[in-house]
Amino acid sequence: MSDYDSIVIGAGFAGAVVARELAEHGGEQVLVLDSRDHIGGNCYDVADEHGILIHKYGPHIFHTNIKRVYDYLSRFTEWFDYRHEVVAKVGESEIPVPFNLNTLKMVFGDEADELQNLLIERFGEGARVPILELKKADDPRLKKIADYVYQNIFLKYTMKQWGKSPEEIDPSVSGRVPVVLSTDNRYFMDTYQGMPREGYTPLFEKLLDHPGIRLKLSTDATDLLEFDPESDTPIRWKGEVFEGKVIFTGAIDELFGCRYGRLPYRSLRFDFEHFDKDVFQSHGVVNYTVSEDFTRITEFKYLTGETDKAGTTIVREYPFAYTGAEGEIPYYAINNPENDALYAKYKKLADDCSLTLLGRLAEYKYYNIDAIVDRALDVAKELMDE
């Protein structure tokens, strides 16, 4: 017998939100486990040795059109009103990304007005046109724009990020950053956007601060729990049958010992560097779309609002194929029919154990923060209604 009604594996957004809901609205005793020595999953932030707030696992900017998600998170944080703009470094120029009508003007000069009229005539003002769509255009002038955007924004960056060309990856991925037929330079167009005013980690501290929640860090679930899909009592907690709910938010193939082979993921190496100057670059994020081995440089003080602090810290991101070696972290599912079919086999094992899968890794999906919070609220409700 265990003292817990539910065990949640992972203290990122998926795990923390579902745990809070089960404790607060289900009246449950919930144990949250995480193998890391901190809460927050990949959204964890912390002051570095120079006192600059950094995101240890890459830059995270909150944005959503889902009011209930914004309202929900607003219970646990106030917001710093951050407007995220990204530029691509192309040669000596820095051009706005997503490619928009301002970028068009910078790149095509005198020709831009004619091209703008043509784009708007074809797709409509304000349209968001995926590059792979634009590439299909047969008008040679539209083709010229498409070729420029493809060659200078997408091809090299995507090759670095995924080890594949834009045509070889799921179209929804490049479609996240369409060509935008407006003069709005923001990276995200969502109604609500911003950064937790004190940072993500304090938000998580509040989210997990509930008398029904017990947190155990530096604890891998597989040290305490066993899952046997072939058994009538498939879940064991410290060797004893566990009949409560278990919600898993990690990599599902690894939970089952990769018995059907590894699910492919992309990983990243983050190289941080500090400078004794106030500003390193022109924007919070600069994408290197035609040069360098890294994809982008983030300068954190823009994102966090710490612009009054002396010194600045940046991070460069180097993508690579996850191998499962010690210390590597899987960040991105690589969705394609073959990988999704392999995922389905692992999902079946989880279903046979009545294990709930939730999150970017556990569901093998490209979730943003808002989408996973939304999903966690739904899953918690389903679990409480059962």
Name the site residues for ligand UDP (rule: CB under 6 A). Answer: 88, 97, 153-154, 157-158, 161, 173-174, 176-177, 287, 289
Structure tokens at 358: 């939730």
Is the Cβ of residue 59 or residue 166 nearer to ligand FAD in the bound state? 59
Distance in Å, CB of 268 to ligand UDP, minimum: 10
Among 58, 163, 229, 311, binds ligand FAD (CB under 6 A): 58
Please give the sequence-ordered ranges of beta strands (E in DSSP) within 18-153, or none if there are none. 30-33, 45-47, 53-55, 62-64, 79-80, 86-90, 93-97, 128-129
Cα–Cα distance for residue pair 156/177, rounded to 1 Å: 15
Nearest to 249 by CA among 34, 61, 23: 34
Distance in Å, CB of 333 to ligand UDP, minimum: 11
Is the Cβ of residue 159 or residue 329 nearer to ligand FAD in the bound state? 329
Kindly list the distances between the CA atom of residue 261 and the CA atoms of 74, 125, 251, 252, 303, in Å, as whole numbers in the listed order: 41, 47, 13, 11, 39
Residue 289: name its binding partner from ligand FAD, ligand UDP, none (Cβ under 5 to 8 Å by kind).
Answer: ligand UDP
Secondary structure (3-state) at 157 = helix
- What is the pattern of x (binds ligand FAD, CB under 6 A) and - over residues 345-374? --------------xxx-----xxxx-x--
Cα–Cα distance for residue pair 95/217, rounded to 1 Å: 43
> How many CB atoms are located within 10 Å of the residue 67 CB?
10
Kindly list the distances between the CA atom of residue 130 and the CA atoms of 100, 133, 134, 152, 174, in Å, as whole numbers in the listed order: 12, 5, 6, 15, 7
Structure tokens at 377: 């609220």
Distance in Å, CB of 202 to ligand FAD, minimum: 16
Q: Please confirm whether the linkage preceding 98 is cis (ω < 30° from 0).
A: yes
Binding residues with ligand FAD: total (CB under 6 A): 34
Cα–Cα distance for residue pair 67/201, rounded to 1 Å: 22
Distance in Å, CB of 354 to ligand FAD, minimum: 18
Cα–Cα distance for residue pair 152/144, rounded to 1 Å: 12
Distance in Å, CB of 271 to ligand UDP, minimum: 16
Distance in Å, CB of 14 to ligand FAD, minimum: 3
Range 251-280, binding ligand FAD (CB under 6 A): 268
Is the Cβ of residue 7 or residue 286 nearer to ligand UDP in the bound state? 286
Region of 54-62, 107-115, 140-148, 306-314 interacting with ligand FAD (CB under 6 A): 54-62
Residue 369: name its binding partner from ligand UDP, ligand FAD, none (Cβ under 5 to 8 Å by kind).
Answer: ligand FAD
Structure tokens at 379: 């899953």
Residue 10: name its binding partner from ligand UDP, ligand FAD, none (Cβ under 5 to 8 Å by kind).
Answer: ligand FAD
Distance in Å, CB of 176 to ligand UDP, minimum: 4
User: Taking CB under 6 A as the rule, does residue 42 contact ligand FAD?
Assistant: yes
DSSP 3-state percent helix, strand, coil across the chain (nearest 5):
35, 25, 40
Range 188-247, binding ligand FAD (CB under 6 A): 220-222
Residues engaged in binding ligand FAD (CB under 6 A): 9-15, 33-36, 41-43, 58-62, 220-222, 249-250, 268, 331, 359-361, 367-370, 372
